[in-house]
Amino acid sequence: MTAPTPNWWKSSTCYQIWPASYKDSNGDGIGDIPGIISTLPYLKDLGIETIWLSPMYASPQKDMGYDISDYEDIYPPYGTLADMDELIEKCHGMGMKLILDLVVNHTSDQHKWFVESRKDKTNKYADWYIWRDPKIVDGKQQPPNNWRATFGGSAWEYVEERDQYYLHLFVAEQPDLNWELEETRQAIYKSAIDFWLKKGIDGFRVDTANLYSKDTLYPDAAITAPGEVTQPAFKHYLNGPRMHEWLREIREQVLDNYGDVLMVGELPYTERDEVLRYVSAEAREYSCVFDFDVVMLGNDHVGGGKKHQTFTHTLPQFKAAIAKCQDMLVGTDAWVTVFLENHDQGRSLSRFATDKDEFRDQAAKMLAVLLCCLTGTLFIYQGQEIGMYNHPEHWGIEEIRDIDSLNAYNDVKERHDGDELWLKKAMKGIQAVGRDNARLPVHWDASPNAGFTTGSPWIRVHDEFEKTNVADQQKDPNSVLHFWKKMIALRKEHADLLVFGTQFEVWDRHDQHVFTFTKSHPTTGDKLLVFLSFSDDIEPLHYPTWVKDAEKELLISTVAEVGKYLAPWEARAYLLKGGAVNGA
Ligand code: GLC
Ligand code: CA
């Protein structure tokens, strides 16, 4: 057996930057590209090899830049094209790669293509978006079908000039592009992809990477939310019939001109066989994908207004979701990602571990061990390396900026006539999983506004930044930040086992407090044994029987001295040398 082909991106440690909240260089309260450039030495020192920059393109910011009005320009508060050139150059100069977000399921309604398209039915861009006639029911005009948009409401918006509706799977200001039209695809490739590859970037994180191909008959979705006007319609636009054809077209016509371009797709709600079609090395569609099994734990996938639910899951479900992803490698030529956070999720500490004061740092280190010991390309989200956690429960809706959370809140308000208890419940859901949790300014130090800005921040800074910030953690050798740095280095040192290990196996599937797993080196027979505590109490260890007498080398531990039992939220990993493993 040989280790998988070592594409550069497989073992690369990636770090996601959300520009608005990362680092403000000019005091306008908004993070920017010069701010990013000023922190490159920090990222390099941490061990980061690839930066994923979330949308920095020209945009009216209806969905924080995922509504792009010009792929070839920059949102002025973030900087200029010259700043981007400098960022690319500096990253490369320091031996780091840079990938951008590729948002091509939709544009902004302010994109020139859409501005033209909406004018009439005959202009050059008339068919570049998805236009349909109204449906007339009982003499009344209605949208063409009952599809629900991801952030709630109908997925169709009426435009008088054309007396037609256009499709938007997200907010109305994000019209879906018509990928069926060859001319539109070519324009997308040229403007959104080629323009940036030519500038030297190393790849893309592909937004909503399985939505471009729709059921072109646009039928009504089956009623799965009885009594509601709009219905979840994933079935009709997820993994549609032409997705794979178009992705191969992109690879062959564009990417192949630039070498080994990383394409990491965001792939919601897709089962194993279908995922494999995208990520098999042979298919050359996506390099790897972010699947949603872990981050959607506890969600019923109905879409639209989901954030007013409070989410709970069990540790066994968490283990199963991770195992599902790791198992994608078994018997395939596929590759996977490792992540617990991004800009669409609550913070992993609050969601999957604990953010209680007394255990928080331990838990953050434990999650670092988990992530750095899993097979796949590792993605860390800004602030995760210092253990940032969700905003406090007492924050009110007035602090929230995210359109998804706001829509969800207003939906609850409307449905329940502004009932106070319902609104409290909605706020609780937003505090648990709302997207703004990840979008609060990064805590650089303990000075006002956490050193993020000298001005007034566009979104409230977390109340407790003095407890958790980069500057203080840099001074403390026992900090979460130092631990992450150590873990990233360890992952590189033992890449064969930690990044490329195979045969992931969970030894305590049903245990509610401890997560124990092993992995194998692809060739030597060495094994990795990892113990993770998800408990406020001391817990006993589950040794797989074949490990009992084997010689174990302690690779890493989150406590000063490992004992017979696991301390609360402790993590440790052992290396079992090939020869020492009996009967495995
Ligand atoms: C993806 C992005 C999310 C955005 C949506 C629409 O899910 O991650 O932030 O709102 O696409 O572009
Ligand atoms: Ca700024």
80 vs 99: CA distance, rounded Å: 17
Is 127 exposed, middle or buried (CB count within 10 Å of its CB: 0-12, 13-18, 19+)? Answer: middle
| CATH number assigned to the domain with residue range 112-167, chosen from the 4 options 3.90.400.10, 3.40.50.80, 3.30.70.100, 3.90.1150.10 | 3.90.400.10
Residue 505 confidence (pLDDT) above 80: yes
| Candidate list 266, 291, 385, 526, residue with the active-site label | 266
Q: How far apart are CA 552 and CA 576, in angstroms?
A: 5
- CB neighbours (10 Å) of residue 262? 25
Domain 13-107+182-480 has CATH 3.20.20.80: yes
Identify the residue whose tokens are 């729709």: 214
Domain 502-581 CATH superfamily: Golgi alpha-mannosidase II (2.60.40.1180)
Residue 5: pLDDT band with limits 50, 70, 90 = low
What beta strand segments (E) does 61-187 contain?
70-74, 97-102, 131-132, 135-137, 140-142, 156-159, 164-167
Nearest to 480 by CA among 491, 492, 470, 466: 470
Atom of ligand 1 nearest to the CA of 170: 6
Contact between 553 and 528 (Cβ < 8 Å): no
Indicate which ligand has the atom closest to the C-alpha of 55: 1
* pLDDT attached to residue 309: 65
- What is the pLDDT averaged over residues 428-453? 96
Question: Given CA atoms 431, 433, 435, 437 in this order, what sign does their dihedral have?
Answer: positive
pLDDT at 491 over 70: yes
| 31: pLDDT strictly greater than 50 | yes
Of 218 and 4, more confident? 218
What count of other Cβ atoms lies within 10 Å of the Cβ of residue 487?
26
pLDDT of residue 208 exceeding 60, the answer is: yes
pLDDT over 60 at 149, yes or no: yes
Taking the CB of residue 20, how many other CB atoms lie within 10 A of it? 26
Residue 65 CA to ligand 1 center (angstroms) comes to 9
Residue 296: what pLDDT? Answer: 87
Q: Which two tokens stand for residue 171?
A: 């907010």
Residue of 352 and 304 predicted with greater confidence: 352
| Mode of pairing for the β-strands spanning 377-381 and 502-506 | unpaired
Whether 266 is catalytic: yes
What mean pLDDT is predicted for residues 30-54? 98
Mean pLDDT of 189-198: 98
pTM of the predicted model, to two decimals? 0.96
For helices 272-279 and 243-253, give the axis angle rounded to 10 degrees: 20
Q: Which atom of ligand 1 is nearest to the CA of 404?
A: 10
Residue 384 pLDDT exceeds 50: yes
**Residue whose CA lies nearest to ligand 1 atom number 12:** 66
Residue 183 catalytic?
Answer: no
Determine the distance from the C-alpha atom of residue 355 to the mean position of all C-alpha atoms in its chain, rounded to a whole number.
Answer: 20
Ligand 1 neighbours, Cβ below 6 Å, are 63, 66, 103, 170, 207-208, 266, 343-344
pLDDT range class, residue 304, cuts 50, 70, 90 = very low
- pLDDT beyond 60 at 367: yes
**Full DSSP string of 394-434:** T--GGG---HHHHHHHHHHHHHTTT-HHHHHHHHHHHHHH-
- H-helix or E-strand spanning residue 519: strand 514-520
Neighbours of 138 (CB within 10 A): 5
Determine the pLDDT at residue 298.
76
Q: According to the model, what pLDDT value does residue 579 have?
A: 61
pLDDT at 518 over 60: yes
Q: What percent of the chain has pLDDT over 90?
A: 90
Percentage with pLDDT > 70 across the chain? 96
User: Could you state, in order of their start, the residue ranges of all structural domains in the chain?
Assistant: 13-107+182-480, 112-167, 502-581
With bands split at pLDDT 50, 70 and 90, how would you rate the model's confidence at 548? low
Section 342-355 average pLDDT: 96
pLDDT at 582 over 60: no
What is the distance in A from the centroid of ligand 1 to the CA of 266?
9
Nearest CA to ligand 1 atom 2: 207
Residue 584 banded pLDDT, cuts 50, 70, 90: very low
Reduced to 3 states (helix: H, G, I; strand: E, B; else coil), residue 81 is helix
pLDDT of residue 2: 39
